[in-house]
Amino acid sequence: MRRGKTRGGEFIDFASCFLHESPANMHILDRTKKQDLSMRQRKIEIAMGVLLLLGAWFASVQGAKLVSNLKNQNTPVVLIDPGHGGEDPGVIGIDNIAEKDINLKIACLLKERLLGNGLGVVMTREKDIGLYQENERNHKVQDMQNRCKVIAEHKPDCTISIHQNSYPDASVYGPQVFYYTDSPEGKTLAAILQKTLNTQLKIEKPRVEKGNSSYYLLKRSEGVTVIVECGFLSNAKEAGLLTEENYQQQVAAAICAGVMEYLR
Ligand SMILES: [Zn+2]
């Protein structure tokens, strides 16, 4: 995709050399010979035109092959973004559970699984920090801008931003994946992740993936980005599960399976 280079130039240059070549001694030939030569010249030009088209077609096929070969040779890269961190705890759930901590735990488990599957991984944070400078103003804006910068720098095959949800109605639960409304690729990835999460976590009332056009990260990040809300910290049962390492492993496994399916 982003790593491929087409070699079409070589073919087109080669063909165009022939196309513009003309006989050196044209002016001393008689008219019949000239016409004869002109006819032959036209035939050659038509033949070369056909060759040129074939060359362009071949070049495009070669280009596609080269891209797909490069993609196979180069390790796909997944960017994991554990939401919030530092002075921004995110949602504070039941029993004062801070979203930022659950996000980081699941993100680290996901990282290990993706690495184990042979993928490259980039993390926006691996500690309890935000992506801002202490001495600068408006940490939240700076933090979000810097997360987008990391994505732009690394150009991953996809970006998974890990979050936990909250809702005033404590009975609401279940993971939900968000994608940028205008991104068909984002929708595809979100649908796969939603399916693997619902199935592997055996969610009784499964939620569906949802398009969003206002979340900063979805709106401003390059490439394919989704936000995975792993569950609701406002639901007692789910909040309890999300603090257990066994369940965090299951969430990471489901996301990993979805990413592998998407990249296949
Ligand atoms: Zn969040």
Span from the CA of 57 to the centroid of ligand 1 (angstroms): 48
Q: Are residues 180 and 94 in the same domain?
A: yes
Q: Are residues 200 and 224 in the same domain?
A: yes
Span from the CA of 214 to the centroid of ligand 1 (angstroms): 14
| Residue 2 belongs to a domain | no
Q: Where a domain ends, among 57, 72, 87?
A: 72
Cβ neighbours, 10 Å, residue 253: 16
| Residue 3 belongs to a domain | no
Span from the CA of 204 to the centroid of ligand 1 (angstroms): 23
Q: Where a domain ends, among 17, 37, 72?
A: 72
Which residues form the domain of 32?
A: 8-72
What are the Cα distances from residue 40, in Å, to 19, 35, 36, 110, 137?
A: 13, 8, 6, 67, 76
Task: Look up the CATH number of the domain holding residue 98.
Answer: 3.40.630.40
Rounded Cα distance between 28 and 55, Å, is 35
Which of these, 176, 92, 161, lies nearest to 131 by C-alpha position? 161
Q: Are residues 218 and 127 in the same domain?
A: yes
Q: Are residues 100 and 62 in the same domain?
A: no
Spatial CB neighbours of 207, under 8 Å, sequence gap ≥ 6: 174, 175, 176, 194, 198
Residue type, 214: S
Span from the CA of 99 to the centroid of ligand 1 (angstroms): 7
Judged on CB neighbours under 10 Å (0-12, 13-18, 19+), 186 is buried
3-state secondary structure of 122: strand
Element (H, E) at 88: none
Retrieve residue 66's tokens: 């080269």
3-state secondary structure of 224: coil
3-state secondary structure of 178: strand
Q: Are residues 205 and 100 in the same domain?
A: yes
Span from the CA of 218 to the centroid of ligand 1 (angstroms): 13
Structural domains counted in the chain: 2
| Residue 224 belongs to a domain | yes
| Residue 138 belongs to a domain | yes
Q: Are residues 80 and 59 in the same domain?
A: no
Span from the CA of 161 to the centroid of ligand 1 (angstroms): 9
pLDDT tens digits in sequence order for the chain, 264 residues long: 333 333 332 222 222 222 222 333 333 334 444 456 566 666 656 566 555 544 444 333 332 222 222 344 578 999 999 999 999 999 999 999 999 999 999 999 999 999 999 999 999 999 999 999 999 899 999 999 999 999 999 999 999 999 999 999 999 999 999 999 999 999 999 999 999 999 999 999 999 999 999 999 999 999 999 999 999 999 999 999 999 999 999 999 999 999 999 999
Span from the CA of 173 to the centroid of ligand 1 (angstroms): 15
Element (H, E) at 171: none
Q: Are residues 57 and 174 in the same domain?
A: no
Q: Are residues 12 and 97 in the same domain?
A: no
Q: Are residues 61 and 82 in the same domain?
A: no
Span from the CA of 6 to the centroid of ligand 1 (angstroms): 41
Q: Where a domain ends, among 72, 88, 118?
A: 72
